[in-house]
């Protein structure tokens, strides 16, 4: 029985030390396993080529990130469980970024950065936080953490999810129309699935109040970039902050590099903390060895 780690050697060293401390009898290989048949667990961002053939005894593949859309889930053998990364550093960093981005949208930061570049001293009227309706798509681990981070600012908070949820201080909705109609700042924290791909499109933007703002934190392929540009041009969306795009990185000359209404960051809202990631994987393997389900086991049919 062995673990195969397929990420950077630096992260591998952190994992190796913690495995030696907490699971000393489990062989831990970085990059390559001398005996692939012994591999029961893989830690990776994407599935290695020939996974079904080369690792006949694989039980679990642990994603090094929170998302699992980078795996071709239907192509994995049914015996292999997929586990998303639930280390707490990801949620902490997402809370920081989402608070920063929501405040940037609330206080018109893109417009002020543009004024500064144009040497224009142009104050705008501030809107009280209580009059700003903030809506988070996705009420999972990250959506709920972000909402908790936003609560102290006094925004009028709502969240949208597939199944009914209850979050303190948040209007939780499953009706998308009702949710969008009351959203001035929209944050997307949905996983990328067949249902959410392309969901941030013209039809959805038209259901937002005029002058709404968008913070996109999920995956680039959820956003129709052309529809965003059109919505910015009509004023339906006033400003946006995107941490994820399609493609990543943006190609040279792409309009998003230069549009003053948009702030783009290079998919850095959260980065897995190696030490906490190793503890999450260790706990998952220990659970599996006991015959329990690891935390973060993905519903492969649902896609998240
Ligand atoms: P979770 O699985 O914990 O939560 C997902 C939420 O989305 C759930 O509330 C779920 O609803 C909801 N949802 C999924 N599909 C639909 C749908 N079709 N309609 C309505 N609601 C839906 O995920 P996390 O919070 O851990 O992560 C969310 C995503 O954030 C990741 O998949 C990843 O893509 C992205 N991410 C981005 C990062 C970045 O740096 N930019 C870093 C980390 C993650 P329900 O509650 O009903 O199941
Ligand atoms: C993740 C990400 O999924 O960084 O962890 O996007």
pLDDT of residue 64: 98
pLDDT of residue 40: 98
pLDDT of residue 129: 98
Question: What is the residue extent of each domain of the chain?
Answer: 2-87+272-290, 89-264
Residue 106: active-site member: no
Q: Residue 56 is encoded by which pair of tokens?
A: 């006949």
Q: How far is CA 195 from the centre of its chain?
A: 16
Ligand 1 proximal residues by C-beta, below 6 Å: 66-67, 90, 94, 138-143, 161-163, 165, 189-193, 195-196, 217-219, 243-244, 267, 269-270, 304
Residue 258: active-site member: no
pLDDT tens readout for residues 235-255: 999 999 999 999 999 999 999
Do the domains 89-264 and 2-87+272-290 match in fold?
yes
Cα(226)–Cα(301) distance, integer angstroms: 30
One pLDDT digit (tens) per residue for the chain, 304 residues: 999 999 999 999 999 999 999 999 999 999 999 999 999 999 999 999 999 999 999 999 999 999 999 999 999 999 999 999 999 999 999 999 999 999 999 999 999 999 999 999 999 999 999 999 999 999 999 999 999 999 999 999 999 999 999 999 999 999 999 999 999 999 999 999 999 999 999 999 999 999 999 999 999 999 999 999 999 999 999 999 999 999 999 999 999 999 999 999 999 999 999 999 999 999 999 999 999 999 999 999 999 9
Map residue 142 onto helix, strand or coil. helix
Classified by CATH at the fold level, domain 89-264 comes out as Rossmann fold (3.40.50)
CB-side neighbour CA atoms (13 Å) of 291: 0
Cα(62)–Cα(304) distance, integer angstroms: 13
CB 4 within 8 A of CB 29: yes
Of the candidates 225, 134, 130, the one whose C-alpha atom is nearest the C-alpha of residue 171 is 134
CATH of domain 2-87+272-290: 3.40.50.720
pLDDT of residue 6: 98
pLDDT of residue 299: 97
Residue found by looking up tokens 């005029």 in the block: 210
């Amino acid at each position: 029985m062995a673990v195969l780690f397929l990420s950077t050697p630096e992260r591998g060293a952190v994992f190796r030390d913690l495995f030696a401390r907490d699971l000393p009898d489990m062989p831990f290989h970085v990059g390559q396993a001398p005996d692939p048949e012994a591999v029961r667990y893989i830690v990776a961002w994407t599935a290695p080529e020939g996974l079904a053939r080369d690792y006949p005894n694989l039980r679990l593949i642990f994603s090094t990130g929170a998302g699992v859309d980078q795996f071709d889930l239907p192509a994995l053998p049914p015996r292999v469980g997929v586990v998303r990364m639930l280390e707490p550093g990801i949620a902490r960093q997402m809370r920081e970024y989402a608070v920063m981005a929501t405040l940037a949208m609330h206080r018109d930061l893109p417009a002020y950065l543009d004024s500064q570049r144009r040497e224009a001293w142009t104050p705008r009227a501030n809107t009280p936080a209580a009059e700003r309706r903030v809506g988070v798509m996705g009420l999972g681990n990250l959506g709920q953490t972000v909402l908790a981070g936003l609560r102290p600012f006094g925004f009028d908070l709502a969240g949208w999810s597939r199944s009914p949820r209850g979050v303190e201080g948040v209007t939780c909705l499953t009706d998308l129309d009702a949710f969008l109609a009351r959203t001035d700042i929209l944050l997307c924290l949905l996983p990328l699935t067949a249902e959410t791909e392309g969901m941030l499109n013209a039809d959805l933007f038209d259901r937002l109040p005029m002058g709404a703002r968008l913070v996109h934190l999920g995956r680039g392929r959820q956003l129709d970039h052309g529809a965003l540009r059109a919505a910015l041009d009509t004023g339906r969306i006033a400003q946006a902050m995107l941490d994820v795009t399609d493609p990543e990185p943006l190609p040279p000359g792409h309009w998003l590099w230069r549009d003053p209404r948009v702030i783009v960051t290079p998919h850095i809202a959260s980065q897995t903390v190696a030490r906490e990631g190793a503890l999450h994987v260790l706990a998952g393997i220990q659970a599996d060895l006991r015959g329990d389900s690891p935390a973060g086991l993905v519903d492969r049919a649902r896609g998240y």
